[in-house]
Structure formats: C-alpha cells, structure tokens
Amino acid sequence: MKPLFAIVLLLFVTSCADDQNAGKSKPSPVELTADAVSHYCQMNVLEHPGPKAQIHVAGMLAPLFFSQVRDAIAFIKSEERPGEVMAVYVSDMAKAPSWDEPGKNNWIDAESAYLVVGSNKRGGMGAPEIAPFGTGEAAARFAENYGGEVMTLEGIPKDAVLGSVNLFDEGAQR
C-alpha cells in the first residue's frame, strides 16, 4: 500500500509542477492601439515618433508599452521590476512605414533583434533612441546612415540606457 501511495503522491506533485510551468509560456505580442500609454510617462504611445516596445511581465494582464525602445531596455536592465519579464518585443524598423510611423504589428522579439545603439536619431520623448531591426543588414544600413553600433540586447551595457541623457544635442535627428 505504501508504494502505491508514494507513486500517486509523486504523480500529483509532478502534475502540479507541470501546471505551474504551463503558465510560463512566452506571450505573443499585442497590436499597438490608441489605448496604449507609455509605462513611464503615461502618454499615448502612438503620438510619438520612433520605435516602440512592449514588455510582458508575469502576473500582469496586459503588456507594458514604452514610447522609446531605450526606456524598455532601461526597464529590463534595472533591478526594480514588478515581476519576472516574460517577453520583450520591439518595432522592426525595417518593416516600419517611416520613423514617424513605426507600425502597429511589426513586432520582433528583442532577444533576436539587431539593435543600433548610439545613432543620432531621437525617439518619441526626445532622448537618444535604440533602433531595432529584424535583420543585421537593415541594422548595418541604418548605422551607416545615422551612426551608432549594431548590438544584441544582451550586449547593450547598462550605462547606455541608465545613464544621463542629453536632450539638446544639435546633431540629433527626430
């Protein structure tokens, strides 16, 4: 009887562990709508030019939106977050109609994106922006035109997003 009880208990515990892991699947990106407000400034995301980001956090029903990719990367590199980051999606600027219209559904996983850091392009809030692309070729062309270095999400140093920002760089472009 004891071996049978042990087997049943083991099956039950394994089943519970599977249920907990089932909820941890990577969420899909959601469409950017007029209702989306930026996590930090609470302003409408669509009213600002440049690439956008959305972060899915465990336990939250909706993703957090960011009017600048730089702000989203600062969020994930910061040590203070409301929960585990489940997924980060950024606008694929190679598929965007323009810098002013980054698109509503052209999301790519930030972990596989090619990110141009240090260009002279400004994001929606006027700060230096990190420009995301789905291909290395598109990122390299952007860097050739606007400066900057192509990096991976993991390769971006904290000080590139958590440091001070010069909002008055005369060489910057919106």
User: How does pLDDT run across 39-75, given as a tens digit for each residue?
Assistant: 666 576 788 899 999 999 999 999 999 999 999 999 9
Q: Which domains does the chain have, with CATH numbers?
A: 33-160 (3.30.70.2060)
Pairing of strands 53-57, 85-91: antiparallel
Q: Where are the alpha helices (DSSP H) in 23-126?
A: 69-77
pTM above 0.85, yes or no: no
> Could you tell me the pLDDT band of residue 99, with boundaries at 50, 70 and 90?
very high
- How many CA atoms does the CB half-sphere of 8 hold within 13 Å? 5
- Chain segment 12-34, per-residue pLDDT in tens: 444 444 444 455 789 999 998 88
CA trace torsion 88, 116, 103, 168 (10° rounding): 110
